[in-house]
Structure 1
Amino acid sequence: MPAKQQHNQNRALLIVGIILIAINLRPALAGVGPLISAIRDTTGLSNTMLGLLTTLPLLAFGVVSMFTSIFTRRMGIEGTIALALSLLTIGISLRVIPSDLALFGGTLLLGIGIAFGNVLLPSLVKRDFPEKTGLMTSLYSSMLGVGAALAAGVSVPLAKDLNLGWHWSLGVWALLSLAALLIWLPQLNRQTKPKHAKTFLESISDLGQSKLAWNVALFMGLQSLAFYVVLAWLPEILQDRGIDENTAGWLLSLSQGTGVLGTLIVPIWAEKIGDQRKLVWYLVILEMVSIAGLMLPESFLVGLWASLIGFSLGGSFGLALLFIVMRTHDTETATELSGMAQSIGYLLAATGPTLFGALHDLTRTWFIPLLLLFIVAVFKIVTGIIAGKPVNVQQTG
């Protein structure tokens, strides 16, 4: 086979692998929200404890992101991603077991797997597609949304219409992650290892001097906090507005679907304009409008509010990922900033779902928890304006 043809085939297989990895990084989380009431009825868990089903993976994201460079130095980026998909498959499978320990243990394990994928996908884009960072970021971040939308929409039908129950509705996604692992295995022949991979503390020591790096991390964290709160609690909010469980699940799916549009459009747009600060304003104002709409006590226009908040959060997520790529000059720095942004960012985000559920338990209303999201959006503007400035982290003090 001619070398050029072989190169094109390898590149196409890599793109397919990246797409499949991205699709797998959200279903295990997005499938939980529509099933919250069923899980509560079976387990008797409080809203605060149910919030942990989203918070545990976020904690894993934050902690594991600190140590990703250790694994890439030993196993290479390709080997670490294979490990991630293996852990994801095992963790999802554990949730089929009718046990609270298996439910939370599997959730923690899958969170570790997702964490590796979160950190390393921007590095792959920076390394293998340096001239198409906006396009590739748009592609894989939109696939994250596709996976989330699919899981949000079919979780209740799988559990109820097909009589699988919520355990198997959550567990069925192990088949998808196993398929992604099998497709990824040929990449292990490459086993490229970073030449100058640093530990998290070394990266913090270097990047911690940069105001820009901290604001990229905080923007990522505030965006993720809002996203995972919506992912975990939007169906419950809608059900309290009188919407049935199945419809609430599909409205979450609609939200994730419009999020796919946001992640498709915004990174490509952002790369073309260079200075992304105006985009930050557009997206966050749209988010504030949708939060205000959800604060209304009736179900009027809930489809519109769900769509708007999905688009704004999807666009913000794509923008946060693009910041990691555009604010660095090489793969190693991109990996370091990705680890820092996702570690600090997801540790911040981890407070969201549990705090949101706890506020509802205390106040018996959704207005105060949603007000928290509104305040988070204000801080997102502040950090986003700094992160959107067209310089890289080495140029800042």
Structure 2
Amino acid sequence: MALVAGFVLAALNLRPAIAGISPLLDEIMDDVGLSPAGGGAITTVMMVCLGVFGAVAPLLARRVGLDRTLLAGLLVIAAGVSLRGLDGALVLYLGSALAATAIAVMNVAMPGVVKQHFPSRINLMTGIYVSAVVAGAATSSALVIPLEHLTGYGWRGVSVLLAVPALLGALLWLPQARRGRPGGQNGPRPIGAVLRSPVTWYVTGLMGLQSLTFYVMLAWLPTIFIEAGLPAEQAGYLLSLTNLVQVGTSLAVPLLAGRQPSQVPYVVGACVLTALGYLGMLLAPTTLPWVWMIVLGVGQGATFALSLLIIALRPANSATVTALSAVAQSVGYGVAALGPVLFGLLREVSGGWSAPLTAGLVVIAVQTVTGWHAGRPATLGR
């Protein structure tokens, strides 16, 4: 029970350091004296770290083991969010980068932890893991402002408070890390060994493109609805709705898909639902917008969960899981970091949202093709 509790709490800490910035961004910019570009750079720095530093995880896991890598990640998250609560723009960026680096390493390590500790319950634990990640993002973005008002600490104090769940997770995971096996011969094989397999690139394509379509919506969805004529408050609720829908979907889909040798029908279905959400915003954004957001949330939540489930299922052992996870998530988040910027540039050039949303549908079509191949039965690194 302690193992499961520590695992879930670790997963809950994988998004608050990122998602908790957005609601406080205006206050942060005013306090620190940042321009809008400087404020946006906080998230950009974190996204770049997610893409770059995930590759460090296999090296750490091979040296000290997966369990101790996870413990270190939780401690570094706590240090990073505490650091950015200090005075000055430099520590704000450094603390954000430190927290994001730890998240990048943990993102890569978590599927390997699932394979190592729960080999007979990969589908269940992947569902719990992904649901916890999504719930952590939704909860933190919803609660940081009320927490600020309740405590009276301001954004700096709230940032430091985000260290508490990370420290609690570290405390729960400490016994496992102390008795967990160290690195060495049982550590992950080098990333280069998985790069030669086509399976790796299909999985990477699925992970990267679903991340791109998700972060595009996270960045621009309220603006799309506002410019279509909906009130800003309603646009914010629509974003919250599509994120909340993903929690339940992320839990249910791996339980169903993990029982089958092929995940192709689930991947294709999830991509179709994501495309329908995009199509609804393109053709009729103010007609039944709640329906479009529910459909989009089901599609995106399922695709994210399936990406991580496939990463855990395809390799033969936890070592290769970590190597595959490093490639898929490092490249994936690197691709995803470009999405919101390119989407915004296309909006600026075209003068509306039709061209960007159409481009999004093209990306989802390519995502479906990579997902088709990634979802087929295969074993990597036997």
TM-score (ref. length: structure 1)? 0.86
2:181 to 188, 192, 212: 192
Change (3 A) 1:353 1:324: same
1:118 to partner: Cα distance: 0.7
3-state SS in 2 of match to 1:81:
helix
Equivalent position of 1:224 in the other structure: 211
Q: Distance in 1 between matches of 2:360 and 2:281?
A: 11
Equivalent position of 1:321 in the other structure: 308
3-state SS in 2 of match to 1:137:
helix
Equivalent position of 1:260 in the other structure: 247
Equivalent position of 1:77 in the other structure: 66
**Greater displacement, 247-256 / 338-347:** 247-256
Equivalent position of 1:274 in the other structure: 261
Q: Distance in 1 between matches of 2:361 and 2:79?
A: 37
2:319 to 332, 337, 340: 332
Equivalent position of 2:118 in the other structure: 129
Q: Please say if 1:45 is aligned against 2:35.
A: yes
3-state SS in 2 of match to 1:272:
coil
Contiguous gaps of at least 5 residues in structure 2: none
3-state SS in 2 of match to 1:273:
coil
Q: Distance in 2 between matches of 1:308 and 1:174?
A: 34
Q: Which amino acid aligns with 1:218?
A: G
Work out whether residues 158 and 165 of structure 1, in 8 Å CA contact, stay in contact via their aligned partners in 2. Answer: no
Q: Which amino acid aligns with 1:332?
A: A
1:232 to partner: Cα distance: 3.2
Work out whether residues 54 and 232 of structure 1, in 8 Å CA contact, stay in contact via their aligned partners in 2. Answer: no
Q: Which amino acid aligns with 1:27?
A: P
Work out whether residues 12 and 133 of structure 2, in 8 Å CA contact, stay in contact via their aligned partners in 1. Answer: yes
Q: Give the alignment of 1:10-89 within 5 angstroms.
A: 12-36=1-25, 43=33, 45-46=35-36, 50-89=39-78
Work out whether residues 320 and 381 of structure 2, in 8 Å CA contact, stay in contact via their aligned partners in 1. Answer: no
Equivalent position of 1:178 in the other structure: 167
Equivalent position of 1:285 in the other structure: 272
1:259 to partner: Cα distance: 0.7
Change (3 A) 1:361 1:98: farther
**Greater displacement, 61-70 / 167-176:** 167-176
Change (3 A) 1:78 1:184: same
Q: Distance in 2 between matches of 1:394 and 1:75?
A: 21
1:148 to partner: Cα distance: 1.2
Change (3 A) 1:358 1:163: farther
Equivalent position of 2:136 in the other structure: 147
The CA deviation string for residues 57-110 of structure 1, in whole angstroms up to 9 with x for no partner, is 232222222121221233222221111111111222233345333332222111
Q: Which amino acid aligns with 1:143?
A: A
Q: How many residues align?
A: 380
1:140 to partner: Cα distance: 0.8
1:311 to 283, 293, 298: 298
Work out whether residues 53 and 104 of structure 2, in 8 Å CA contact, stay in contact via their aligned partners in 1. Answer: yes
Work out whether residues 73 and 105 of structure 2, in 8 Å CA contact, stay in contact via their aligned partners in 1. Answer: yes
Work out whether residues 67 and 113 of structure 2, in 8 Å CA contact, stay in contact via their aligned partners in 1. Answer: no
The CA deviation string for residues 12-70 of structure 1, in whole angstroms up to 9 with x for no partner, is 11100110011110122222344455556665534x65554333223222222212122
Q: Distance in 1 between matches of 2:310 and 2:273?
A: 20
Q: Which amino acid aligns with 2:244?
A: G
1:342 to partner: Cα distance: 1.3
Q: Please say if 1:94 is aligned against 2:91.
A: no
Q: Distance in 2 between matches of 1:362 and 1:166?
A: 35
Q: Which amino acid aligns with 2:252?
A: I
Equivalent position of 2:380 in the other structure: 393
Q: Distance in 2 between matches of 1:175 and 1:239?
A: 36
Q: Which amino acid aligns with 2:265?
A: K
Work out whether residues 221 and 239 of structure 2, in 8 Å CA contact, stay in contact via their aligned partners in 1. Answer: yes
1:110 to 77, 80, 99: 99
1:157 to partner: Cα distance: 3.7
Contiguous gaps of at least 5 residues in structure 1: 1-11
1:375 to partner: Cα distance: 2.2
Q: Distance in 1 between matches of 2:144 and 2:228?
A: 20
Work out whether residues 57 and 111 of structure 1, in 8 Å CA contact, stay in contact via their aligned partners in 2. Answer: yes
Work out whether residues 85 and 156 of structure 2, in 8 Å CA contact, stay in contact via their aligned partners in 1. Answer: yes
1:333 to partner: Cα distance: 1.2
Q: Distance in 1 between matches of 2:287 and 2:30?
A: 28
Q: Distance in 1 between matches of 2:142 and 2:290?
A: 14
Equivalent position of 2:191 in the other structure: 203
Work out whether residues 54 and 353 of structure 1, in 8 Å CA contact, stay in contact via their aligned partners in 2. Answer: no
Q: Distance in 2 between matches of 1:150 and 1:353?
A: 23
Q: Which amino acid aligns with 1:377?
A: I
CA RMSD of aligned residues (A): 2.7
The CA deviation string for residues 294-327 of structure 1, in whole angstroms up to 9 with x for no partner, is 3358544333323222221111111011111111
Work out whether residues 75 and 193 of structure 1, in 8 Å CA contact, stay in contact via their aligned partners in 2. Answer: yes
Q: Distance in 1 between matches of 2:222 and 2:160?
A: 20
Change (3 A) 1:132 1:70: same
Change (3 A) 1:298 1:133: closer
